[in-house]
Amino acid sequence: MARYIFVTGGVVSSLGKGLTTAALGALLQARGYKVRLRKFDPYLNIDPGTMSPYQHGEVYVTDDGAETDLDLGHYERFTGVPARRSDTVTSGRVYSDVLQRERRGDYLGGTVQVIPHVTDVIKEYIQADTGDADIVLCEVGGTVGDIEGLPFFEAMRQMAQELPHRRAILVHHTLVPYLKAAGELKTKPTQHSVKELRSIGLQPDILVCRSEHPIPEGERRKIARFCNVRESAVIPALDVDTIYQVPISYHDAGLDREVLAAFGLADRRGPDLDVWRRIVDGVRNPEGEVTIAVVGKYTGLADAYKSLAEALTHGGIANRARVDLDWIDSEIFEREDAVAHLGSVHGILVPGGFGERGAEGKILAVTFARQHRIPYFGICFGMQMAVIEATRNLAGIENASSTEFGPCENPVVGPMTEWTRENRIETRAAGGDLGGTMRLGAYDCDLVPDSRVRAIYGSDRISERHRHRYEVNINYRTVLEGCGMTIAGLSPDGELPEIVELAGHPWFVGVQFHPELKSKPFSPHPLFASFIEAAIAQSRLV
Ligand code: GLN
């Protein structure tokens, strides 16, 4: 039977609960436990799929096609455990489930209430599909005291009582701020936050105290006393220079040891953290440095491209290089000359995106990369823009476009339903709900022999994750190949171009999928490793 760790937060949001959960998962794994990591979000959206990246950061997609919170990306990057649909639950999903059961008559005429009906469904989700996991880490979004979070906290409280003793523990995050005027660290917010938890029947086992300053022993003792936890279970969490240091720092602060103690598990041998030490060493002591321009729309908000930024760092780790990112809003190229912005970068990446705004600027960035022979990596929308660019500027079909921007005469990008009568991959209803109309999740792709990507992956068939409505139109294959843009990867049925390459260019690859979602610091994605390698070669030229 699995054990459960509930991870909650108080005082303020953005305390890094997601990273703690991910790092704790990695630590327990390094001690030989099988882990699963899940996120419970109290908002009412069914999933974050339809939420703006400005609101919610990136939408992380799982192999089984769930659109999830970006914390699941941290979980996968730190543990390598592929996240599943069952690892993400929102209040929206819980309520919609309860209401469906009510309509079906499952409640046999009873009054449907938050307790027990909503909390029962939450408990079902917490315990569903845990497979052979020894320890399931459940992070609850938001902060204690939020109205919509209450049913989750109540479900956790009930579960802890219903499971055998010491099967569920609570790790609570707080903030210990430093008041400059007083020259002191303040423990009162932590005390209040724990008081709030205790008022709903929850007693934390471990407190993770985020602080910008070391927390002296006296303060830790005070927190322990007022919050009713052991002093050794007050874990200071100071800021670190790289997120890959987090597992090491938490281990040094005793987090994994305290978790085992709270479960009553023996602390046999310490975790082997060499892999994390090597990663941190690589990040701290790079031998080279490259600048990559990321030309997108949500460039003001780093969380919107979280996995992408991480994957680029991993590409750097693979090459022992520091990767500096230059986030550029593509609309700027519609007003200003690209050379001022792109002239000195070593690689250009156009990431995933939606909608017409900024698209022409992205196409101009592709032209620049192509003409100046700068390594180019197009991801999803970035591949589609590369294909439009080649069709317009190399094949001379000036009105080539994507039907995402409206009807057009030369739809080199469009929904597959426009050129096949029968959609063989899956049926997506046109004009239906906005949620759930995309090609989502992992699909196989066959790589063409002798292509660059075949050499990069070292395999004939790969599987990558998708999140898009539109596809490159296979009917333009001859046009594209006639101007040097080869289709290097195809869906196994040969209908969907998944990868394009530009012949005679140092490194020009467009992929319809999102390789960044599968990159890990301990196993950088081959495309990112290769792209950064090409950028390093470019940096030696300029
Ligand atoms: N907007 C494009 C589509 O829906 C690309 C999506 C993406 O880049 N994720 O096909």
pLDDT at 430: 46
pLDDT at 431: 47
Give the residue whose CA is nearest to atom 3 of ligand 1: 468
Whose tokens are 């990136």? That residue is: 58
Q: Which residues of the chain have pLDDT under 50?
A: 421-432
pLDDT at 299: 66
Distance in Å, CA 256 to ligand 1 centroid: 40
Indicate which residues carry an active-site annotation.
380, 514, 516
pLDDT at 428: 46
The C-alpha atoms of residue 491 and residue 474 are separated, in whole angstroms, by 11
pTM of the model: 0.92
- Nearest atom in ligand 1 to the alpha carbon of residue 413 is 10
pLDDT in tens, 16-65: 899 999 999 999 999 999 999 999 999 998 888 878 777 778 899 999 99
> Beta-carbon neighbour count of residue 431 at 10 Å?
5
pLDDT in tens, 315-330: 999 999 999 999 999 9
Instruction: Determine the residue of 470, 471, 512 to mutate for testing ligand 1's pocket, defined as the one with the most ligand atoms within 8 A of the Cβ atom.
Output: 470
Pocket of ligand 1 (CB under 6 A): 352-354, 380-381, 404, 467-470
Tokens at residue 430, please? 């046109």
Give the residue whose CA is nearest to atom 8 of ligand 1: 352
Give the residue whose CA is nearest to atom 9 of ligand 1: 352
The C-alpha atoms of residue 171 and residue 20 are separated, in whole angstroms, by 10
The C-alpha atoms of residue 57 and residue 43 are separated, in whole angstroms, by 15
Distance in Å, CA 40 to ligand 1 centroid: 27
Give the residue whose CA is nearest to atom 5 of ligand 1: 381
Distance in Å, CA 470 to ligand 1 centroid: 6
pLDDT at 436: 52
- Nearest atom in ligand 1 to the alpha carbon of residue 470 is 10
Report the candidate in 455, 503, 466 with the shortest Cα–Cα distance to residue 482.
503
